[in-house]
Structure 1
Protein backbone atom coordinates (compact mmCIF):
# COMPACT_ATOMS: atom_id res chain seq x y z
CA UNK A 1 0.00 0.00 0.00
CA UNK A 2 1.51 3.32 -1.06
CA UNK A 3 0.75 5.87 1.60
CA UNK A 4 2.04 9.28 2.64
CA UNK A 5 5.31 7.73 3.71
CA UNK A 6 5.85 5.66 6.84
CA UNK A 7 2.91 5.38 9.20
CA UNK A 8 2.13 8.73 10.76
CA UNK A 9 3.05 7.48 14.18
CA UNK A 10 1.34 8.98 17.16
CA UNK A 11 3.43 9.78 20.24
CA UNK A 12 2.22 6.70 22.06
CA UNK A 13 5.60 5.81 23.46
CA UNK A 14 6.55 9.21 24.77
CA UNK A 15 5.91 10.47 28.24
CA UNK A 16 4.56 13.97 28.64
CA UNK A 17 2.95 14.21 25.19
CA UNK A 18 6.11 14.69 23.11
CA UNK A 19 6.10 13.25 19.62
CA UNK A 20 7.73 9.94 18.82
CA UNK A 21 8.32 10.33 15.11
CA UNK A 22 8.50 13.62 13.20
CA UNK A 23 4.79 14.08 12.66
CA UNK A 24 2.45 15.96 14.99
CA UNK A 25 0.34 14.02 17.44
CA UNK A 26 -3.13 14.76 18.66
CA UNK A 27 -1.47 16.75 21.45
CA UNK A 28 0.80 18.78 19.15
CA UNK A 29 -0.05 22.40 18.53
CA UNK A 30 1.89 23.02 15.33
CA UNK A 31 2.87 21.26 12.15
CA UNK A 32 6.65 20.74 11.89
CA UNK A 33 8.64 22.90 9.50
CA UNK A 34 9.90 19.85 7.63
CA UNK A 35 8.17 19.01 4.37
CA UNK A 36 5.19 16.78 4.96
CA UNK A 37 5.77 13.38 3.34
CA UNK A 38 4.25 12.60 -0.03
CA UNK A 39 4.82 9.20 -1.64
CA UNK A 40 7.31 9.10 -4.52
CA UNK A 41 4.78 7.04 -6.48
CA UNK A 42 1.30 8.03 -5.27
CA UNK A 43 -1.65 5.72 -5.96
CA UNK A 44 -2.89 6.50 -9.45
CA UNK A 45 -6.52 7.37 -9.99
CA UNK A 46 -6.12 8.95 -13.44
CA UNK A 47 -3.94 8.77 -16.53
CA UNK A 48 -2.47 11.23 -18.98
CA UNK A 49 0.42 13.64 -19.43
CA UNK A 50 -1.11 16.37 -17.27
CA UNK A 51 -1.55 13.96 -14.36
CA UNK A 52 2.02 12.70 -14.69
CA UNK A 53 3.40 16.23 -14.92
CA UNK A 54 1.47 17.47 -11.91
CA UNK A 55 2.45 14.55 -9.67
CA UNK A 56 6.09 14.90 -10.69
CA UNK A 57 6.06 18.49 -9.39
CA UNK A 58 4.52 17.84 -5.97
CA UNK A 59 7.67 17.26 -3.94
CA UNK A 60 10.15 19.56 -5.65
CA UNK A 61 7.78 22.37 -6.64
CA UNK A 62 4.57 22.10 -4.60
CA UNK A 63 3.56 25.69 -5.34
CA UNK A 64 3.90 24.99 -9.04
CA UNK A 65 1.97 21.75 -8.66
CA UNK A 66 -0.81 23.57 -6.82
CA UNK A 67 -1.08 26.25 -9.52
CA UNK A 68 -0.97 23.66 -12.28
CA UNK A 69 -3.64 21.52 -10.58
CA UNK A 70 -5.86 24.53 -9.91
CA UNK A 71 -5.73 25.65 -13.54
CA UNK A 72 -6.17 22.10 -14.75
CA UNK A 73 -9.15 21.54 -12.45
CA UNK A 74 -10.80 24.73 -13.71
CA UNK A 75 -10.39 23.40 -17.23
CA UNK A 76 -12.03 20.09 -16.40
CA UNK A 77 -9.09 18.11 -15.02
CA UNK A 78 -11.37 15.95 -12.91
CA UNK A 79 -10.16 13.53 -10.25
CA UNK A 80 -6.54 13.66 -11.38
CA UNK A 81 -6.39 17.41 -10.81
CA UNK A 82 -8.05 17.10 -7.39
CA UNK A 83 -5.62 14.39 -6.31
CA UNK A 84 -2.59 16.41 -7.34
CA UNK A 85 -3.95 19.53 -5.67
CA UNK A 86 -4.56 17.64 -2.43
CA UNK A 87 -1.00 16.33 -2.34
CA UNK A 88 0.34 19.81 -3.10
CA UNK A 89 -1.74 21.26 -0.25
CA UNK A 90 -0.18 18.74 2.14
CA UNK A 91 3.33 19.42 0.89
CA UNK A 92 2.71 23.16 1.31
CA UNK A 93 1.82 22.64 4.97
CA UNK A 94 -1.99 22.55 4.88
CA UNK A 95 -2.76 18.90 5.71
CA UNK A 96 -6.33 19.68 6.78
CA UNK A 97 -7.32 21.00 3.36
CA UNK A 98 -5.43 18.19 1.64
CA UNK A 99 -7.12 15.60 3.84
CA UNK A 100 -10.58 16.96 3.08
CA UNK A 101 -9.90 16.81 -0.66
CA UNK A 102 -8.53 13.27 -0.41
CA UNK A 103 -11.51 12.13 1.66
CA UNK A 104 -13.95 13.54 -0.87
CA UNK A 105 -12.01 11.96 -3.70
CA UNK A 106 -11.80 8.55 -2.05
CA UNK A 107 -15.50 8.57 -1.25
CA UNK A 108 -16.71 9.35 -4.75
CA UNK A 109 -14.00 8.07 -7.08
CA UNK A 110 -14.82 5.07 -9.27
CA UNK A 111 -11.27 3.69 -9.37
CA UNK A 112 -10.44 0.16 -8.28
CA UNK A 113 -10.86 -0.54 -4.53
CA UNK A 114 -7.10 -0.68 -3.92
CA UNK A 115 -6.60 2.82 -5.35
CA UNK A 116 -9.57 4.23 -3.43
CA UNK A 117 -8.29 2.63 -0.22
CA UNK A 118 -4.88 4.19 -0.78
CA UNK A 119 -6.44 7.63 -1.28
CA UNK A 120 -8.50 7.26 1.90
CA UNK A 121 -5.39 6.04 3.70
CA UNK A 122 -3.58 9.17 2.60
CA UNK A 123 -6.52 11.20 3.88
CA UNK A 124 -6.28 9.51 7.26
CA UNK A 125 -2.58 10.25 7.57
CA UNK A 126 -3.12 13.86 6.55
CA UNK A 127 -5.85 14.19 9.20
CA UNK A 128 -3.33 12.99 11.78
CA UNK A 129 -0.89 15.64 10.56
CA UNK A 130 -3.71 18.13 11.13
CA UNK A 131 -4.16 16.80 14.70
CA UNK A 132 -7.64 15.44 13.95
CA UNK A 133 -7.61 11.79 15.04
CA UNK A 134 -11.37 11.26 14.78
CA UNK A 135 -11.34 12.18 11.09
CA UNK A 136 -8.23 10.02 10.67
CA UNK A 137 -10.02 7.09 12.28
CA UNK A 138 -13.04 7.55 10.01
CA UNK A 139 -10.90 7.70 6.86
CA UNK A 140 -8.93 4.60 7.84
CA UNK A 141 -12.15 2.74 8.61
CA UNK A 142 -13.53 3.54 5.16
CA UNK A 143 -10.26 2.42 3.60
CA UNK A 144 -10.36 -0.85 5.53
CA UNK A 145 -13.87 -1.50 4.26
CA UNK A 146 -12.24 -1.69 0.82
CA UNK A 147 -9.05 -3.53 1.86
CA UNK A 148 -9.75 -5.18 5.23
CA UNK A 149 -6.46 -7.09 5.43
CA UNK A 150 -4.04 -4.29 4.61
CA UNK A 151 -1.54 -4.01 7.51
CA UNK A 152 -0.63 -0.39 6.76
CA UNK A 153 -4.26 0.67 7.02
CA UNK A 154 -4.70 -1.31 10.22
CA UNK A 155 -1.63 0.39 11.69
CA UNK A 156 -2.88 3.81 10.61
CA UNK A 157 -6.25 3.23 12.25
CA UNK A 158 -4.52 2.04 15.41
CA UNK A 159 -2.56 5.29 15.49
CA UNK A 160 -5.79 7.26 15.16
CA UNK A 161 -7.43 5.15 17.88
CA UNK A 162 -4.54 5.89 20.19
CA UNK A 163 -4.91 9.58 19.45
CA UNK A 164 -8.44 9.20 20.75
CA UNK A 165 -7.12 7.23 23.75
CA UNK A 166 -8.98 4.14 22.54
CA UNK A 167 -6.10 1.84 23.33
CA UNK A 168 -8.05 -1.41 23.29
CA UNK A 169 -9.14 -0.74 19.71
CA UNK A 170 -5.56 0.15 18.81
CA UNK A 171 -4.37 -3.13 20.34
CA UNK A 172 -6.95 -5.07 18.33
CA UNK A 173 -5.95 -3.50 15.00
CA UNK A 174 -2.26 -3.97 15.69
CA UNK A 175 -2.88 -7.60 16.62
CA UNK A 176 -4.54 -8.09 13.22
CA UNK A 177 -1.73 -6.27 11.41
CA UNK A 178 0.89 -8.46 13.08
CA UNK A 179 -1.11 -11.58 12.35
CA UNK A 180 -0.86 -10.63 8.67
CA UNK A 181 2.78 -9.51 8.82
CA UNK A 182 4.58 -10.64 12.00
CA UNK A 183 7.79 -8.83 11.04
CA UNK A 184 6.38 -5.32 11.33
CA UNK A 185 8.57 -3.84 14.03
CA UNK A 186 6.69 -0.55 13.91
CA UNK A 187 3.45 -2.35 14.74
CA UNK A 188 5.13 -4.18 17.61
CA UNK A 189 6.37 -0.95 19.17
CA UNK A 190 3.02 0.77 18.68
CA UNK A 191 1.26 -2.19 20.28
CA UNK A 192 3.71 -2.14 23.17
CA UNK A 193 2.86 1.50 23.78
CA UNK A 194 -0.88 0.83 23.58
CA UNK A 195 -0.53 -2.08 25.98
CA UNK A 196 1.48 0.09 28.34
CA UNK A 197 -1.42 2.53 28.44
CA UNK A 198 -3.67 -0.43 29.23
CA UNK A 199 -1.31 -1.43 32.08
CA UNK A 200 -0.40 -4.70 30.34
CA UNK A 201 3.29 -4.17 31.02
CA UNK A 202 4.44 -7.77 30.57
CA UNK A 203 2.82 -7.98 27.14
CA UNK A 204 4.23 -4.58 26.23
CA UNK A 205 7.73 -5.67 27.20
CA UNK A 206 7.41 -8.83 25.12
CA UNK A 207 6.45 -6.75 22.08
CA UNK A 208 9.43 -4.45 22.54
CA UNK A 209 11.85 -7.35 22.86
CA UNK A 210 10.44 -8.90 19.70
CA UNK A 211 10.85 -5.59 17.87
CA UNK A 212 14.49 -5.44 18.98
CA UNK A 213 15.04 -8.99 17.76
CA UNK A 214 13.86 -7.85 14.34
CA UNK A 215 15.96 -4.67 14.44
CA UNK A 216 18.51 -4.42 17.27
CA UNK A 217 19.05 -0.72 16.50
CA UNK A 218 15.41 0.37 16.37
CA UNK A 219 15.42 3.70 18.28
CA UNK A 220 11.67 3.64 18.83
CA UNK A 221 11.87 0.23 20.45
CA UNK A 222 14.73 1.43 22.67
CA UNK A 223 12.68 4.44 23.69
CA UNK A 224 9.63 2.37 24.54
CA UNK A 225 11.75 -0.10 26.48
CA UNK A 226 13.20 2.77 28.50
CA UNK A 227 9.75 4.09 29.32
CA UNK A 228 8.60 0.62 30.35
CA UNK A 229 11.60 0.28 32.64
CA UNK A 230 10.75 3.61 34.23
CA UNK A 231 7.18 2.45 34.75
CA UNK A 232 8.51 -0.62 36.52
CA UNK A 233 10.72 1.54 38.74
CA UNK A 234 13.98 0.60 37.03
CA UNK A 235 15.17 4.19 36.78
CA UNK A 236 18.81 3.21 36.39
CA UNK A 237 17.98 1.11 33.34
CA UNK A 238 15.95 3.75 31.55
CA UNK A 239 18.54 6.35 30.48
CA UNK A 240 20.57 3.90 28.41
CA UNK A 241 17.48 3.35 26.30
CA UNK A 242 16.17 6.89 26.01
CA UNK A 243 19.51 8.56 25.30
CA UNK A 244 19.73 6.88 21.91
CA UNK A 245 17.39 9.55 20.53
CA UNK A 246 19.37 12.49 21.88
Structure 2
Protein backbone atom coordinates (compact mmCIF):
# COMPACT_ATOMS: atom_id res chain seq x y z
CA UNK A 1 0.00 0.00 0.00
CA UNK A 2 2.93 2.33 0.63
CA UNK A 3 4.01 1.82 -3.01
CA UNK A 4 0.52 2.65 -4.17
CA UNK A 5 0.62 5.79 -2.13
CA UNK A 6 3.82 6.92 -3.79
CA UNK A 7 2.34 6.31 -7.26
CA UNK A 8 -0.78 8.23 -6.46
CA UNK A 9 1.28 11.07 -5.03
CA UNK A 10 3.26 11.33 -8.26
CA UNK A 11 0.05 11.33 -10.26
CA UNK A 12 -1.09 14.48 -8.56
CA UNK A 13 -2.07 16.16 -5.34
CA UNK A 14 -5.73 15.44 -6.00
CA UNK A 15 -5.11 11.74 -5.52
CA UNK A 16 -3.68 12.20 -2.03
CA UNK A 17 -7.19 12.28 -0.60
CA UNK A 18 -7.98 9.02 -2.38
CA UNK A 19 -4.81 7.49 -0.95
CA UNK A 20 -5.94 8.55 2.54
CA UNK A 21 -9.09 6.50 2.12
CA UNK A 22 -7.28 3.42 0.82
CA UNK A 23 -4.35 3.13 3.22
CA UNK A 24 -4.90 1.55 6.71
CA UNK A 25 -2.29 2.30 9.39
CA UNK A 26 -0.02 4.58 7.30
CA UNK A 27 0.16 8.31 7.90
CA UNK A 28 -1.88 9.08 4.83
CA UNK A 29 -4.77 6.86 5.96
CA UNK A 30 -5.15 8.01 9.58
CA UNK A 31 -8.71 9.33 9.14
CA UNK A 32 -10.06 5.92 8.14
CA UNK A 33 -7.74 3.75 10.25
CA UNK A 34 -10.44 1.92 12.14
CA UNK A 35 -12.36 0.86 9.01
CA UNK A 36 -9.25 -0.06 7.04
CA UNK A 37 -7.73 -2.16 9.85
CA UNK A 38 -10.99 -4.07 10.16
CA UNK A 39 -11.00 -4.84 6.44
CA UNK A 40 -7.30 -5.50 6.06
CA UNK A 41 -6.56 -7.52 9.21
CA UNK A 42 -5.51 -11.06 8.26
CA UNK A 43 -7.48 -13.98 9.66
CA UNK A 44 -5.61 -15.66 12.53
CA UNK A 45 -4.25 -19.13 11.91
CA UNK A 46 -5.69 -21.99 13.99
CA UNK A 47 -4.22 -21.88 17.50
CA UNK A 48 -2.68 -18.45 16.88
CA UNK A 49 -3.26 -15.85 19.59
CA UNK A 50 -5.23 -12.99 18.13
CA UNK A 51 -3.98 -10.48 20.69
CA UNK A 52 -2.64 -10.14 24.19
CA UNK A 53 -6.03 -8.98 25.46
CA UNK A 54 -7.05 -12.51 26.45
CA UNK A 55 -3.97 -12.83 28.65
CA UNK A 56 -4.92 -9.69 30.53
CA UNK A 57 -8.12 -11.42 31.68
CA UNK A 58 -6.26 -14.17 33.55
CA UNK A 59 -5.83 -13.42 37.24
CA UNK A 60 -5.27 -15.19 40.54
CA UNK A 61 -8.36 -13.49 41.97
CA UNK A 62 -10.54 -14.86 39.16
CA UNK A 63 -9.03 -18.30 39.57
CA UNK A 64 -9.59 -18.55 43.32
CA UNK A 65 -13.03 -16.91 43.35
CA UNK A 66 -14.81 -20.27 43.04
CA UNK A 67 -12.41 -22.45 45.05
CA UNK A 68 -14.88 -23.32 47.80
CA UNK A 69 -18.06 -23.49 45.70
CA UNK A 70 -16.66 -24.95 42.47
CA UNK A 71 -13.13 -26.37 42.91
CA UNK A 72 -13.45 -28.29 39.64
CA UNK A 73 -14.06 -25.02 37.84
CA UNK A 74 -11.11 -23.39 39.60
CA UNK A 75 -8.86 -26.27 38.58
CA UNK A 76 -10.03 -26.09 34.96
CA UNK A 77 -9.45 -22.33 34.93
CA UNK A 78 -5.94 -22.80 36.34
CA UNK A 79 -5.06 -25.48 33.79
CA UNK A 80 -6.38 -23.34 30.95
CA UNK A 81 -4.38 -20.41 32.32
CA UNK A 82 -1.25 -22.59 32.39
CA UNK A 83 -1.89 -23.62 28.79
CA UNK A 84 -1.92 -19.92 27.90
CA UNK A 85 1.36 -19.12 29.59
CA UNK A 86 0.29 -18.84 33.23
CA UNK A 87 3.12 -18.82 35.75
CA UNK A 88 3.48 -19.20 39.49
CA UNK A 89 0.04 -17.90 40.39
CA UNK A 90 -1.63 -20.30 37.96
CA UNK A 91 0.30 -23.19 39.53
CA UNK A 92 -0.65 -21.98 43.01
CA UNK A 93 -4.32 -21.81 42.08
CA UNK A 94 -4.23 -25.30 40.59
CA UNK A 95 -2.65 -26.65 43.78
CA UNK A 96 -5.28 -24.95 45.95
CA UNK A 97 -8.03 -26.42 43.78
CA UNK A 98 -6.52 -29.89 44.17
CA UNK A 99 -6.46 -29.32 47.92
CA UNK A 100 -10.18 -28.50 47.89
CA UNK A 101 -10.84 -31.60 45.78
CA UNK A 102 -9.11 -33.82 48.33
CA UNK A 103 -5.83 -34.41 46.51
CA UNK A 104 -4.00 -32.90 49.46
CA UNK A 105 -0.69 -34.75 49.05
CA UNK A 106 -0.22 -33.51 45.47
CA UNK A 107 -1.26 -30.02 46.54
CA UNK A 108 1.20 -30.02 49.43
CA UNK A 109 4.12 -31.05 47.24
CA UNK A 110 3.28 -28.38 44.64
CA UNK A 111 2.82 -25.60 47.19
CA UNK A 112 6.02 -26.55 48.99
CA UNK A 113 7.93 -26.34 45.72
CA UNK A 114 6.37 -22.99 44.82
CA UNK A 115 7.20 -21.50 48.23
CA UNK A 116 10.90 -22.01 47.49
CA UNK A 117 10.80 -20.00 44.24
CA UNK A 118 12.22 -16.48 44.68
CA UNK A 119 10.83 -13.43 42.95
CA UNK A 120 7.08 -13.97 43.34
CA UNK A 121 4.90 -13.61 41.37
CA UNK A 122 7.25 -13.39 38.38
CA UNK A 123 9.77 -16.03 39.42
CA UNK A 124 10.43 -19.14 37.38
CA UNK A 125 10.19 -22.60 38.91
CA UNK A 126 12.68 -23.88 36.36
CA UNK A 127 15.38 -21.49 37.58
CA UNK A 128 14.53 -21.26 41.26
CA UNK A 129 18.17 -20.91 42.28
CA UNK A 130 19.32 -18.62 39.50
CA UNK A 131 19.60 -15.41 41.49
CA UNK A 132 16.10 -13.94 41.26
CA UNK A 133 15.78 -11.07 43.71
CA UNK A 134 13.07 -11.07 46.36
CA UNK A 135 11.23 -7.96 47.48
CA UNK A 136 9.32 -7.52 50.73
CA UNK A 137 6.13 -8.23 48.80
CA UNK A 138 7.47 -11.40 47.18
CA UNK A 139 8.69 -12.68 50.55
CA UNK A 140 5.19 -12.19 51.96
CA UNK A 141 3.70 -14.04 49.00
CA UNK A 142 6.12 -16.93 49.45
CA UNK A 143 5.33 -17.08 53.16
CA UNK A 144 1.63 -17.32 52.30
CA UNK A 145 2.32 -20.21 49.94
CA UNK A 146 4.40 -21.92 52.64
CA UNK A 147 1.47 -21.58 55.06
CA UNK A 148 -0.84 -23.13 52.46
CA UNK A 149 1.63 -25.97 52.00
CA UNK A 150 1.71 -26.56 55.76
CA UNK A 151 -2.09 -26.72 55.89
CA UNK A 152 -2.12 -29.18 53.00
CA UNK A 153 0.39 -31.39 54.82
CA UNK A 154 -1.80 -31.20 57.92
CA UNK A 155 -4.78 -32.37 55.88
CA UNK A 156 -2.59 -35.22 54.63
CA UNK A 157 -1.85 -36.25 58.24
CA UNK A 158 1.81 -35.41 57.71
CA UNK A 159 2.67 -33.19 60.70
CA UNK A 160 6.43 -33.42 60.23
CA UNK A 161 6.22 -32.08 56.68
CA UNK A 162 3.71 -29.46 57.85
CA UNK A 163 6.14 -28.37 60.54
CA UNK A 164 8.97 -28.10 58.00
CA UNK A 165 6.84 -25.99 55.64
CA UNK A 166 5.75 -23.67 58.44
CA UNK A 167 9.31 -23.38 59.73
CA UNK A 168 10.55 -22.43 56.27
CA UNK A 169 7.75 -19.89 55.85
CA UNK A 170 8.71 -18.20 59.11
CA UNK A 171 12.26 -17.72 57.81
CA UNK A 172 10.70 -15.66 55.00
CA UNK A 173 8.23 -13.69 57.15
CA UNK A 174 8.83 -14.23 60.89
CA UNK A 175 5.83 -12.15 61.95
CA UNK A 176 3.26 -13.86 59.72
CA UNK A 177 0.39 -14.71 62.09
CA UNK A 178 -1.30 -17.47 60.02
CA UNK A 179 2.09 -19.17 59.77
CA UNK A 180 2.68 -18.84 63.49
CA UNK A 181 -0.74 -20.39 64.15
CA UNK A 182 -0.09 -23.35 61.86
CA UNK A 183 3.39 -23.77 63.33
CA UNK A 184 1.99 -23.80 66.87
CA UNK A 185 -0.78 -26.28 66.09
CA UNK A 186 1.62 -28.67 64.41
CA UNK A 187 4.09 -28.30 67.27
CA UNK A 188 1.35 -29.53 69.62
CA UNK A 189 0.69 -32.48 67.30
CA UNK A 190 4.39 -33.31 67.49
CA UNK A 191 4.24 -33.17 71.29
CA UNK A 192 6.14 -29.88 71.51
CA UNK A 193 3.58 -27.75 73.38
CA UNK A 194 6.13 -25.40 74.92
CA UNK A 195 7.32 -24.45 71.44
CA UNK A 196 3.71 -23.63 70.56
CA UNK A 197 3.27 -21.45 73.63
CA UNK A 198 6.50 -19.59 72.92
CA UNK A 199 5.40 -18.98 69.32
CA UNK A 200 2.02 -17.57 70.35
CA UNK A 201 3.30 -15.37 73.18
CA UNK A 202 2.79 -12.45 73.03
CA UNK A 203 -0.61 -12.86 71.44
CA UNK A 204 -1.44 -11.20 68.10
CA UNK A 205 -2.99 -7.75 68.31
CA UNK A 206 -5.77 -8.29 65.75
CA UNK A 207 -8.83 -9.58 67.68
CA UNK A 208 -9.73 -12.46 65.35
CA UNK A 209 -6.14 -13.65 65.17
CA UNK A 210 -5.79 -13.22 68.92
CA UNK A 211 -8.79 -15.48 69.54
CA UNK A 212 -7.44 -18.17 67.21
CA UNK A 213 -4.11 -17.98 69.02
CA UNK A 214 -5.87 -18.31 72.38
CA UNK A 215 -7.53 -21.54 71.25
CA UNK A 216 -4.24 -22.98 69.99
CA UNK A 217 -2.41 -21.93 73.13
CA UNK A 218 -5.12 -23.43 75.34
CA UNK A 219 -4.57 -26.76 73.61
CA UNK A 220 -0.84 -26.46 74.28
CA UNK A 221 -1.42 -25.64 77.95
CA UNK A 222 -3.67 -28.70 78.23
CA UNK A 223 -1.02 -30.94 76.68
CA UNK A 224 1.35 -29.72 79.39
CA UNK A 225 -1.21 -30.54 82.07
CA UNK A 226 -1.79 -26.90 82.96
CA UNK A 227 -5.58 -26.95 82.89
CA UNK A 228 -6.06 -23.66 84.72
CA UNK A 229 -4.04 -21.66 82.18
CA UNK A 230 -5.80 -23.51 79.37
CA UNK A 231 -9.23 -22.66 80.78
CA UNK A 232 -8.25 -19.00 81.14
CA UNK A 233 -7.24 -18.82 77.47
CA UNK A 234 -10.26 -20.69 76.14
CA UNK A 235 -12.75 -18.63 78.13
CA UNK A 236 -11.10 -15.45 76.85
CA UNK A 237 -11.58 -16.70 73.29
CA UNK A 238 -15.20 -17.71 73.90
CA UNK A 239 -15.96 -14.30 75.36
CA UNK A 240 -15.31 -12.84 71.90
CA UNK A 241 -16.79 -15.70 69.85
CA UNK A 242 -19.16 -17.80 71.97
CA UNK A 243 -20.29 -19.94 69.03
CA UNK A 244 -16.84 -21.01 67.86
CA UNK A 245 -16.80 -24.79 67.41
CA UNK A 246 -13.07 -25.28 68.00
CA UNK A 247 -13.19 -23.29 71.24
CA UNK A 248 -16.26 -25.13 72.53
CA UNK A 249 -14.69 -28.48 71.66
CA UNK A 250 -11.53 -27.58 73.57
CA UNK A 251 -13.44 -26.30 76.60
CA UNK A 252 -15.42 -29.53 76.68
CA UNK A 253 -12.16 -31.45 76.86
CA UNK A 254 -10.96 -29.20 79.67
CA UNK A 255 -14.21 -29.71 81.58
CA UNK A 256 -13.79 -33.44 81.15
CA UNK A 257 -10.25 -33.26 82.55
CA UNK A 258 -11.65 -31.45 85.59
CA UNK A 259 -14.34 -34.10 86.05
CA UNK A 260 -17.18 -31.73 85.11
CA UNK A 261 -18.94 -34.16 82.77
CA UNK A 262 -22.24 -32.28 82.47
CA UNK A 263 -20.47 -29.12 81.31
CA UNK A 264 -18.32 -31.14 78.90
CA UNK A 265 -21.38 -32.80 77.41
CA UNK A 266 -23.14 -29.45 77.01
CA UNK A 267 -20.21 -27.90 75.13
CA UNK A 268 -19.82 -30.87 72.80
CA UNK A 269 -23.53 -30.95 72.05
CA UNK A 270 -23.35 -27.26 71.21
CA UNK A 271 -20.56 -28.01 68.73
CA UNK A 272 -22.69 -30.63 66.98
CA UNK A 273 -25.71 -28.31 66.91
CA UNK A 274 -23.84 -25.26 65.64
CA UNK A 275 -21.71 -26.95 62.95
CA UNK A 276 -23.00 -30.48 62.33
CA UNK A 277 -20.87 -31.04 59.22
CA UNK A 278 -17.60 -29.71 60.62
CA UNK A 279 -14.49 -31.62 61.68
CA UNK A 280 -15.05 -30.27 65.19
CA UNK A 281 -18.52 -31.82 65.22
CA UNK A 282 -17.08 -35.20 64.24
CA UNK A 283 -14.63 -35.00 67.14
CA UNK A 284 -17.37 -33.86 69.51
CA UNK A 285 -19.50 -36.87 68.54
CA UNK A 286 -16.58 -39.16 69.31
CA UNK A 287 -16.14 -37.53 72.71
CA UNK A 288 -19.86 -37.78 73.44
CA UNK A 289 -19.81 -41.45 72.49
CA UNK A 290 -16.92 -42.11 74.85
CA UNK A 291 -18.71 -40.17 77.56
CA UNK A 292 -21.77 -42.39 77.19
CA UNK A 293 -19.58 -45.48 77.41
CA UNK A 294 -17.78 -44.31 80.56
CA UNK A 295 -19.53 -41.27 82.08
CA UNK A 296 -17.04 -40.95 84.93
CA UNK A 297 -13.83 -41.15 82.87
CA UNK A 298 -11.67 -38.00 83.24
TM-score for both structures, normalised by structure 1: 0.71
**What residue is the counterpart of 2:12 in the other structure?**
none
Determine helix, strand or coil for the equivalent of 1:108.
coil
Q: Do the aligned residues in 2 keep the contact of 1:51 with 1:84 (CA within 8 Å)?
A: no
Aligned residues: 199
Residues 1:195 and 2:221 aligned together: yes
**What residue is the counterpart of 1:15 in the other structure?**
none
- The structure whose residues are more often helix, as a share, is 2
Higher relative contact order (CA 8 A, sep 6+): 1
**What residue is the counterpart of 2:78 in the other structure?**
69
Residues 1:124 and 2:132 aligned together: no
Alpha-carbon distance change, 225 to 83 in structure 1, aligned in 2, over 3 angstroms: closer
Residues 1:207 and 2:233 aligned together: yes
Q: Specify which of 166, 169, 174 is matched with residue 195 of structure 2.
A: 169
Alpha-carbon distance change, 125 to 230 in structure 1, aligned in 2, over 3 angstroms: same
Residues 1:113 and 2:139 aligned together: yes
Gapped regions of structure 2 (runs ≥ 5): 1-54, 121-137, 273-298
Q: Map 1:1-246 onto structure 2 (within 5 A).
A: 48-52=56-60, 53-56=62-65, 58-73=67-82, 76-111=85-120, 112-176=138-202, 178-181=203-206, 184-246=210-272
Q: Do the aligned residues in 2 keep the contact of 1:127 with 1:135 (CA within 8 Å)?
A: yes
Determine helix, strand or coil for the equivalent of 1:131.
coil
Runs ≥4 residues deviating over 6 A: none
Question: Residue deviations 1:152-188, cap 9 Å, x none?
Answer: 2111111111222222212222224x15446622211
Q: Post-superposition shift, 1:221?
A: 2.7
Alpha-carbon distance change, 185 to 57 in structure 1, aligned in 2, over 3 angstroms: closer
Gapped regions of structure 1 (runs ≥ 5): 1-46
Q: Do the aligned residues in 2 keep the contact of 1:83 with 1:105 (CA within 8 Å)?
A: yes
Q: Do the aligned residues in 1 keep the contact of 2:184 with 2:200 (CA within 8 Å)?
A: yes
TM-score for both structures, normalised by structure 2: 0.60
- For 1:117 and 1:73, locate their aligned partners in 2 and report how far apart those are by CA, in whole Å: 22
Look at both structures and tell me which one has the larger radius of gyration over its CA atoms: 2
Q: Post-superposition shift, 1:48?
A: 4.0
Q: Do the aligned residues in 2 keep the contact of 1:151 with 1:180 (CA within 8 Å)?
A: no
Q: Post-superposition shift, 1:205?
A: 1.4
* RMSD across aligned positions (CA): 2.4
